[in-house]
Structure 1
Amino acid sequence: MKNRQLLSFPVVKRTLYVVQLLLLLTITFPVSAQMLARISVKAGARQCVNLPVSTAMKDEVLSRQDSLQLFEILQGRRNPVPFQITGGQNLYWILDGKTTPGKVRTYELVKGTPVPALARMQAKDSAGALVLEEGNQHLLQYNYNIVEPPAGVDTVYRRSGFIHPLWAPDGQVITQIHAEGHWHHVGIWNPWTHTSFKGKETDFWNLQKKEGTVRFKGFISRTQGPVLCGFQALQDHVAFTGKQETVAINEEWDVKAFNSNGNTIRMWDIDNTMSCADTAGITLLQYRYGGGFGLRTNAEWKVANSKVLTSEGKTRKDADSTRARWIKITGRTEKGEAGILVMSHPSNYDYPQPVRVWPENSERGEIMMNFSPTKMKSWQLKYGQTYRLCYRVLVFTNDISKEEAEDAWEAYARPPQITVSWSAGL
């Protein structure tokens, strides 16, 4: 009897272990879930932090999007991951936390009971503007209605189709509009300055010349959800000839702001796709500023309390007319320090693009910065073709190091490699 007890105990123990393992597997890998795809994400040569990634979905999967789940596989367990399908067929999610160089992270897309996810990223209308928000915090405002200049200033400076305010995570405003003496500066904007259209030089930047302007035309889409919020908007570059108006360039802004999970560094992308609206085409003539990505910063950021640094180590003293992959601007006010990092994508025209940065001794010491694609050479746009400029922006409180800026640019320019293995039958 004693020997039987001794012999049976290990058997019982093993049996209990097997039962517990089966229960764990049932909880971790629901029997109701059907795996549709296994997704591997391999990080690049530098560390990435809270990086948004995306991959295209098959039509057969999109038809089931109301019953999809995404899990990261960690130590044999499935951890639910918030995701969002937007842009027609693209699946977006965040590589949360820090991902070391070369690390492979594995995900599974399954069909099963959806895991509820809070739509933390929202796009809300507000008095003629679209405000992108994370939780209850403002990120940026796109002004689609006409914004009037200050009282007493010529109405020629009225404009739509620009971003202001741009908020730092602590609520500080990074941008300004209608600066004295530069009433045409409007936060973040991108009109072309020196162009040749139908045999006539046309300036869409300096509104006081009354040669042209940029106008909001309409929305293609608006997006919100657990991973990102944003919009696609149509804008027109309008040329003036006397009382006659002619649309010279159609452009589409595609803006996406990504969930930072409450961190002090926020990320958003702006992609601008241009096409000629007239069969004559248009030439963007070589000039020291215009187009690309224009930024007028907070009026309180001046020489004594701000810093400029480019990817090539240039500062405000010597950054102007140099080329850069990214440019970082920080400023300090009584509310604290905040900053912005603007990154140019390698696919952009005349990359690495030249920058226009006001020197320290001009314009009351305030800052205007512009990634200027035509600063060094002209750019001919032909009718029937499309042209694209892409930029990524980080907005942060306090400051980030040059190494962190390099990490962010590397992740943007050379994103992680994504491999999708679809299940049989898809």
Structure 2
Amino acid sequence: MTTFKTLGIAIAMATLSPVTYAQQSEPVKIVKTSKDKIDILIGGKPFTSFLYPDTLEKPVLYPLRDAAGTVVTRSFPLAKRAGDPTDHPHHIGLWFNFENLNGLDFWNNSYAIPAAKKSSYGWIRTDRILETKSGNTGVLAYHANWTNQQKDVILEETTRFEFSGNGSQRIIDRYTTLKANVDAVFKDAKDGMLGLRLAHELQIPETADQKFTDDKGIVTIVKGGSDHIANGTYLTSAGKTGNDAWSTRGVWCKVYGKMGSDSVSISIIDHPQNPNYPTFWHARGYGLFAANPLGENIFTNGKSAKNLTLKKGESVTFKYRIVIENGKETTNPAQLNKLADAFGKK
């Protein structure tokens, strides 16, 4: 397993023999398996599924797997895996939403919210699939509406996923355009925008006791040092490591750890055309890994803020690349810089 204890070691790793990016790309197959589920296979093996039933408060990619087939996202709440944490039931696979749009919370909505409080939460409903295409790069595009509980449309979302991979790597390029159906205000808030929930192994091991309160008010105490599964940590393009990655800015952020016999990493890469580039990282040791360009107020302790307003008919586009790597070593900083440079030209 590749372990970066200090920034110096992290930089030194960039000089090691690189993971082979000249590997032959594997074919991607996009298969609709039910009215609200589309499977993505790479090299004939399951990679992820696009889930968009009305029973979920947002569309998600769930679960995510590396090239060896190991699931790198948390299974809860859609499945059960022994030892999985059960906090934050709104953390499902890979998603995109925000905590405060026109006063509605899209991020924290889940089955755990009591009916009497649902009116404060927004919903993202996928109403049509625009494109599916298999090939060396698989394509999945969809249209969705960001609504209140009465189904009044605030934003129209058009998202295009491009999937690719080889023998040790999986890549998702996500392009999301939000068009305002009415005047729309993203008020600077902590919880947003592109998020994923990590598998238990990729969490940062905690030495201190942790206290979690779920959406039903149930408090769980996790004793420090009692978690023998978690072994992950973060590294950003700016050289921040571990829990110090949280609230800092960077072109990319990577989480990595040991899963089975493999070293596994997940990296999120920001795009230079995104609002407030480079993004702030809402990267938590307990397993939330998110890029949030609109959380500046809390991330800077109130020194500055970044609200985003769209007048009716205006739009904004967000672009992100997610890279999942497995093998003897994980994607190093030099390789991530190359991937970021290439993505920035798309």
TM-score when scaled to structure 2?
A: 0.74
State the Cα distance separating 1:373 from its structure 2 match.
1.8
Question: 1:245–1:341: structure 2 CA closer, same or farther, 3 Å change rule?
Answer: same
Aligned to 2:154: 248
2:26–2:167: 8 Å Cα contact kept in structure 1? no
Partner residue, 1:370: 290
- Give the number of equivalent residue pairs: 276
The verdict on how the C-alpha distance between 1:167 and 1:191 changes in structure 2, with shifts beyond 3 A counting, is same
Amino acid at match of 1:400: T
The answer to whether the Cα contact below 8 Å between 1:310 and 1:328 also exists between their aligned partners in 2 is yes
The percentage of counterpart residues that share the same residue type is 22
Whole-Å separation in 2 of the counterparts to 1:172 and 1:185:
19
Q: Give 2:31's aligned residue.
A: 124
Superposition deviation, residue 213 in structure 1: 1.7
How far the C-alpha of 1:144 sits from its partner, in A, is 2.1
Q: What is the distance in 1 between the residues matched to 2:26 and 2:245?
A: 41
5 Å-filtered alignment, 1:15-414, equals 120-127=27-34, 128-146=36-54, 158-176=56-74, 177-178=76-77, 180-195=86-101, 197=102, 201-207=103-109, 208=113, 209-210=117-118, 211=120, 212-225=122-135, 227-240=136-149, 244-258=150-164, 260=165, 262-278=166-182, 281-291=183-193, 293-304=194-205, 305-334=231-260, 336-358=262-284, 360=285, 366-376=286-296, 377-398=306-327, 399-414=330-345
Per-residue CA deviation, residues 194-221 of structure 1 (Å, 9 max, x unaligned), is: 22x2xxx211111125221222211011
Partner of 2:334, secondary structure, is helix
Q: If each structure's strand is expressed as a fraction of its own residues, which one has the higher value? A: 1
Q: Helix, strand or coil: the match of 2:340?
A: helix
> Please, which runs of 5 or more residues in structure 2 have no aligned partner?
1-17, 78-84, 206-230, 297-305
Where structure 1 has 5 or more consecutive residues not aligned to the other structure, the ranges are 1-46, 51-95, 99-117, 148-157, 361-365, 416-426
Please list the CA deviations of residues 3-39 of structure 1 after superposition, one character each: whole Å capped at 9, or x if unmatched.
Answer: xxxxxxxxxxxxxxxxxxxxxxxxxxxxxxxxxxxxx
Say if 2:294 and 2:307, in contact at 8 Å, map to a contact too.
yes
Q: Distance in 1 between matches of 2:123 and 2:280?
A: 24
Greater relative contact order structure (CA < 8 Å, 6+ sep): 2
Q: Retained in 1: the 8 A contact 2:254–2:267?
A: yes
Give the Cα separation in 2 of the matches to 1:181 and 1:254. Answer: 30
One-letter amino acid of the structure 1 residue matched with residue 190 of structure 2: R
Distance in 1 (alpha carbons) for counterparts of 2:19 and 2:160: 23
Deviation at 1:48, TM superposition (A): 12
* Cα RMSD (Å): 2.4
Where does structure 1 differ by over 4 angstroms across 4 or more consecutive aligned residues?
A: 47-50
Q: Do the aligned partners of 2:58 and 2:123 also contact (CA within 8 Å) in 1?
A: no
Cα distance in 1, alignment partners of residues 20 and 261 from structure 2: 26
Q: What is the DSSP-based 3-state SS (H/G/I as helix, E as strand, rest coil) of the residue aligned with 2:242?
A: coil
| Aligned-pair CA distance for 1:135 | 2.4
User: Offset at 1:160?
Assistant: 4.4
2:58 and 2:192 mapped to 1: Cα distance?
17
**Which residue is equivalent to 2:228?**
none
Q: Give the TM-score normalised by structure 1.
A: 0.61
**How much does 1:391 deviate?**
0.6
Whether the 8 Å contact between 1:193 and 1:206 is mirrored in structure 2 is: yes
Larger Rg: 1
Deviates more, 1:347-356 or 1:366-375: 366-375
Shift of 1:310: 0.6
